[in-house]
Amino acid sequence: MEADTKQILEEALSRRTIAVISHPDAGKSTLSEALLLHSDAITEAGAVHGKAGRRGTVSDWMDMEKARGISVSSAVLQFKVGEAVVNLVDTPGHADFSEDTFRVLAAVDAVIMLIDAAKGMEAQTMKLFEVCRARSLPVITVINKWDRPGQTALELVDEILTRTGMRSMPRNWPVGDSGHMLGLLHPDAMSMNRYVRAPGGAKKVLAEPLSAEIAETEYPVEWQTAVEESSLLEVDGSFYDRDAFLSQEATPLFFASAVQNIGVEELLRFLMEEGPHPQDRPDEEGSPHPITSDFSGYVFKVQTGMDKAHRDRIAFMRICSGVFERGMVATHAQSEKPFPTKYSQQVFGRDRTTVDTAWPGDVVGLVNASSLRPGDTLYAGQRVMFPPFKPFAPEHFRVGKTGDASKHKQFRKGIEQLDREGVIQVFFSERRGQQRPVLGAVGPMQFEVVSARMESDFGASVSFEPLEYSVARDIDEQAAEILRERQDCEVLYRSDGTPVALFRDPWRLRTVQRDHPHLLPDPPGSRTSGSATARM
């Protein structure tokens, strides 16, 4: 189809592409499910919180996720709210899967940050805030689980300001302490919503609006406290400043109970009315690539095993500019080879439907995209390449092997596939051979995912032999020749051919650096350990 500048801009204005992020167990998947419920994308929520008989969330579809009740892989959920389109990405919260989360953050326009009302700003929460700041991503903060005992509202607001430097702009405020939630105050209208809760949170909660006069009559102490507390955060006569939100000077703040669907409708409305729409994105040179130019897209995730019947491979691509049409022949920027797009799909958790047209901000699934990796660019017409994703330095290492020699072909195929997806990093050496690759991970739980995926997706079991390394450093061939002679490190090659030196601990690395200061300079802005967190 022929799309002019006006049409591309109009379609982009109606898109919201956003990720839900948090420390583990703050309620990301439950909130994602509640947003789907309030947008009428689903009719019944199935939050994962251990109750017998409850089905899993749409976003947590892997067997391991259902068994553990946690997200171990990001999931894309595209749905409509009126005439607008939301591309929502539910991310894994566990630090072991932070690399997957950070790939997602390169493909969205804003984030919803969940904070547990009882636990406040946890370690992973702070790391994610730092990454959002580095990527200039506006942050919407949700204090979740207000239906359970926790900290006071003002304590949490003060902690956000102290630890992130961002002031809070409340879009609602709790009436009643955490664990004793009577309703939500809306500061702009000075009114209150009282909720009639659905059993188990499976259906939409019914909101009963109360005027200030009625709220004060029925809840004199709690209402007055909520009014006074929320007023303390008022700045220059306004509770909300959109420019401050978009520039990360301040964060819109919501209080909610995602499992009860309380506060979710207000959050969804804010997202549609005030959430940022797709903008020009910087290319690899740092220059803004116009959203109205020819089609371009950025691959941020690759996943196999979503369709057990066909064992296909799907690449998730965020549309960055122009219009995408199914069947168009794009160019793979990394190889400059043509890439057909006949099998393109809209994704909703594990479910998929064919998509013919997509616009900036949309996420499209490309099926059987064997040549694509996270960080790749596709384009049509004007050439563009977006910054590739740089892998984290792994901190945990295992030798992978299969005990069944007859399954070696499946083993090799599976390991190569998981490497291309970014589930694990794979290294080889002449000494260990191709049949005993070294697997590197940011966290040990990644090896559990490898084991489960190898068994279910490729029919090849894998066993692990631990290696006592905790530091990896990319090197060049000159350094590889010299370090290969040492006994206190090991030189391997990443699957892309990059030589990598492994060290038992930071002290061993410093010893080698002292002996060869020009071979192993510290990367700018990182700690000597070269850990994954140093690159966040």
Which domains, and CATH codes, for the chain? Answer: 20-75+109-276 (3.40.50.300), 282-379 (2.40.30.10), 396-535 (3.30.70.3280)
Q: How many angstroms separate the CA atoms of 464 and 443, rounded?
A: 14
More confident residue, 289 or 54: 289
Q: How far is CA 286 from the centre of its chain?
A: 23
CB atoms within 10 A of CB 4: 10
245 within 8 A of 79, measured Cβ to Cβ: no
Average pLDDT over residues 124-134: 84
pLDDT tens digits, 204-255: 888 999 999 999 999 999 999 999 999 988 876 667 999 999 999 999 999 9
Work out the percent of the chain whose per-residue pLDDT is above 70.
86
The contacts of residue 336 (CB under 8 Å, 6+ apart) are: none
Q: How many angstroms separate the CA atoms of 310 and 86, rounded?
A: 28
Q: How many angstroms separate the CA atoms of 104 and 201, rounded?
A: 28
Q: How far is CA 416 from each of CA 306, 370, 402, rounded to the nearest angstrom?
A: 17, 11, 14
Of the candidates 30, 98, 112, 120, which has an alpha carbon nearest to the alpha carbon of residue 70? Answer: 30
Q: How many angstroms separate the CA atoms of 531 and 506, rounded?
A: 9
pLDDT tens digits, 489-512: 999 999 889 999 999 999 999 999
Q: Report residue 529's pLDDT band, with 50, 70 and 90 as the boundaries.
A: very low
Q: Report residue 110's pLDDT band, with 50, 70 and 90 as the boundaries.
A: very high
Q: How many angstroms separate the CA atoms of 84 and 14, rounded?
A: 5
Total residues found in the chain within this entry: 536
- Tokens representing 132? 């959002």
The contacts of residue 213 (CB under 8 Å, 6+ apart) are: none
Q: What is the DSSP letter of 396?
A: E
- Residue 404 three-state SS: coil
CA 463, 465, 467, 473 torsion: positive or negative? negative
71 within 8 A of 93, measured Cβ to Cβ: yes
Q: Give the containing element (helix H, strand E) for 140.
A: strand 139-144
The contacts of residue 134 (CB under 8 Å, 6+ apart) are: none
Q: What is the DSSP letter of 382?
A: S
User: Residue 523: its pLDDT value, please?
Assistant: 58
Q: Report residue 368's pLDDT band, with 50, 70 and 90 as the boundaries.
A: confident
pLDDT tens digits, 404-445: 888 889 999 899 988 888 888 999 987 887 788 999 998 888
Of the candidates 511, 509, 512, 514, which has an alpha carbon nearest to the alpha carbon of residue 528? Answer: 509
Of the candidates 480, 494, 463, which has an alpha carbon nearest to the alpha carbon of residue 398? Answer: 463
CA dihedral defined by 366, 370, 375, 376, rounded to 10 degrees? -80
